[in-house]
């Protein structure tokens, strides 16, 4: 049986969906044949012309076959599941929305992805981008945007395949550093510091030092240096951090919420107030 006829029979008889035109079926059948879940208006315009593309999109959205992800970007509902709830995962949807821009996904979702926490964090996605946008609902999650300098999107990012889509994710070391550079992602700075201290054994020392020296806050470099030194990192491995911490004369507390009492590390200028913090 012709795939277009078969698809239309499925849509009409099984799921009671309004019938699709031959052109609409052609579009959906091509997506299913290519195992794709997302369609852009520009793709349709290149194939059918801009006026026809708008017409196709309006019709398929009205029939519940396409669902808008962002301006000119749509998620396709597989014909076999028309009439039922079907969604792609939030990280995949975010990747499609951001695919034309430099970005990476981090925050709690990245902690879950790297196995740094046993909790599954799928209801919130944090995207780091060079141009801020307001938070929005995306599939079954909230998508939040965090502005960073474009140069900070050039390192510490891995590209992984999720549901056939390339998704840019902070690597394990960048995920830990982001917790210290942007502590509100995890709660407070003390919360983030405790979690990073516990997860630090999983990190590659040279990589996390390199990432921190390249773009983290000076305060992050100071605290990280103390934690790594305690774990046996050599002065040579930590030398990139020393270059960064020389830029400041400030003395900070290792644990920000504890009393500022304890010895001051002479090299990193950090008050080691662990006993007071109970760490």
Has residue 2 got a pLDDT over 70?
no
Average pLDDT along the chain: 87
pTM of the complete model: 0.79
- Phi and psi of 168, rounded to 5°? -90, 125
Q: Which tokens sit at 79?
A: 């014909």
CA–CA gap between residue 176 and residue 179 (Å, rounded): 5
Tell me what percent of the residues of the chain surpass a pLDDT of 70: 88
Has residue 3 got a pLDDT over 50?
no
What residue spans in the chain does CATH classification 1.10.10.10 cover?
Answer: 3-81
Mean pLDDT of the region 36-57: 90
Note the CATH number of domain 3-81: 1.10.10.10
Q: Give how far Cα 253 sits from Cα of 35, 168, 261, 269, Å.
A: 53, 34, 8, 9
The whole-number pLDDT of residue 37 equals 80
Mean pLDDT of the region 1-21: 54
Has residue 104 got a pLDDT over 80?
yes
CB atoms within 10 A of CB 250: 11
| Packing angle, helices 205-215 and 235-245, rounded to 10 | 10
List Cβ neighbours of 186 (8 Å cut-off, separation of 6 or more). 107, 108, 111, 179, 192, 195
CA dihedral 253, 259, 261, 266 (to 10 degrees): 0
> Where residue 191 falls among pLDDT bands split at 50, 70, 90?
very high
Strands 73-76 and 38-40: antiparallel
The whole-number pLDDT of residue 150 equals 95
């Amino acid at each position: 049986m012709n795939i277009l006829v078969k698809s239309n029979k499925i849509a009409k008889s099984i799921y009671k969906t309004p019938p699709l035109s031959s052109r609409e079926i052609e579009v959906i059948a091509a997506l299913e044949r290519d195992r794709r879940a997302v369609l852009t208006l520009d793709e349709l315009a290149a194939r059918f012309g801009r006026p026809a593309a708008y017409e196709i999109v309006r019709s398929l959205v009205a029939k519940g076959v396409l669902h808008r992800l962002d301006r000119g970007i749509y998620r396709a509902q597989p014909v076999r599941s028309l009439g039922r709830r079907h969604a792609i995962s939030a990280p995949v949807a975010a990747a499609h929305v951001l695919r034309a821009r430099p970005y990476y996904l981090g925050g709690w979702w990245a902690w879950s992805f790297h196995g740094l926490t046993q909790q599954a964090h799928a209801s919130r996605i944090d995207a780091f981008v060079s141009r801020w946008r307001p938070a929005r609902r995306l599939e079954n999650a909230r998508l939040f945007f965090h502005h960073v300098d474009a140069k900070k999107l050039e390192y510490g990012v891995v590209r992984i395949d999720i549901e056939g889509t390339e998704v840019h994710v902070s690597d394990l070391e960048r995920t830990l550093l982001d917790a210290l550079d942007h502590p509100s992602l995890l709660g407070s700075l003390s919360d983030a510091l405790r979690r990073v201290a516990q997860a630090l054994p999983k990190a590659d020392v040279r990589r996390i030092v390199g990432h921190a020296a390249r773009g983290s806050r000076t305060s992050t470099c100071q605290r990280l240096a103390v934690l790594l030194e305690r774990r046996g990192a050599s002065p040579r491995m930590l030398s990139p951090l020393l270059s960064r911490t020389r830029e400041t004369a400030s003395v900070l507390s290792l644990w920000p919420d504890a009393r500022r009492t304890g010895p001051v590390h002479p090299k990193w200028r950090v008050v080691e107030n662990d006993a007071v913090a109970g760490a």
